[in-house]
Amino acid sequence: MRYVAVLANINGNFPALVKALGKIEELKEEGYNIEKYYILGNIVGLFPYPREVLDILDDMIKNSNVKVIRGEFDQIIAESDPHAEGCDYIDKLDIPDHVKKALQYTWEKLGHEGREFIRDLPIYLVDKIGKNEIFGVYGSPLNPFKGIVLPEQPTSYYEAIMRPVKDYELLFVASPKMPVNAMTRYGRIVCPGSIGFPPGKDHKATFALVDVDTLHVKFIEVDYDKRLIEDKIKQEGLPEQLTKTLYYGKI
């Protein structure tokens, strides 16, 4: 059987990404034919490995069939002036101070080349899985960055979200950070969960495998060592609130 791997919400969490990609390689060795990767945004943002995440994604893009789109925090980086010498614009955003500091750190660590990488990413994903047309976005079809698709809602809720893209068989979103697999009369909505941004306590790096022929969805969870990220947060002098986010998932 052929599959695509769908990942989202890396958020600069390099150790979690490495574990997830390692699991995908194990699955390949077990016989899973994973022919394509989709990464639905928030590749950087909160945690202190933005350059490392971009390096690994850049290698994947060169060597594999990989499509990456922007998320909410990626968009903040992309909106910066390419000629600016600093990131003062982040101070003016209506977000918590510790998130501002994390984004300013990310802006600096990415450098000009890394920021250009983010700016070159599309906002929407349009592709084909087997015979099925798919649409992907970080938030929701009508609000690509601020939109959110809640888990465990009635079918009518998901039908309203799917209606604007009803010409597609599958809608990928990243905004809930929790796995969603909802079938509607228009098509299926899938959120793969979160690689690096915990939606709550006891988070594992979570991604989805989608069967190319049947569109059957399987969610995979992988443990990662949060102490590595905690130590890096302290080492880089970043706000303590980011450690609380790492363990409890609340910004």
**Per-domain residue ranges of the chain:** 2-123+192-248
pLDDT digits (tens, 9 = 90+) for 164-209: 999 999 999 998 899 999 999 999 999 999 999 999 889 999 999 9
Amino acid letter, residue 232: K
Q: Say which DSSP state 212 is in.
A: T
Residues listed for the chain = 251
* Cα→Cα distances 125→58, 76, 140, 181, 203, Å: 18, 19, 12, 18, 27
| Average of per-residue pLDDT across 113-141 | 96
Percent of the chain with pLDDT over 70: 100
Q: What is the pLDDT of residue 85?
A: 84
Q: Where do the DSSP E strands lie in the chain? A: 2-7, 33-39, 66-68, 124-129, 132-137, 170-173, 180-183, 188-191, 205-211, 217-222
Nearest to 74 by CA among 91, 53, 59: 53
Give which of 25, 60, 69 is closest to 175, Cα–Cα: 69
pLDDT tens-place string over residues 28-77: 999 999 999 999 999 999 999 999 999 999 999 988 899 999 999 999 99
Q: Note if the pTM is more than 0.85.
A: yes
Whole-Å CA distances, 249 to 2, 111, 237, 243, 245: 33, 27, 20, 9, 4
Domain covering 2-123+192-248: architecture? 4-Layer Sandwich (3.60)
pLDDT at 63: 82
DSSP code for 77:
H
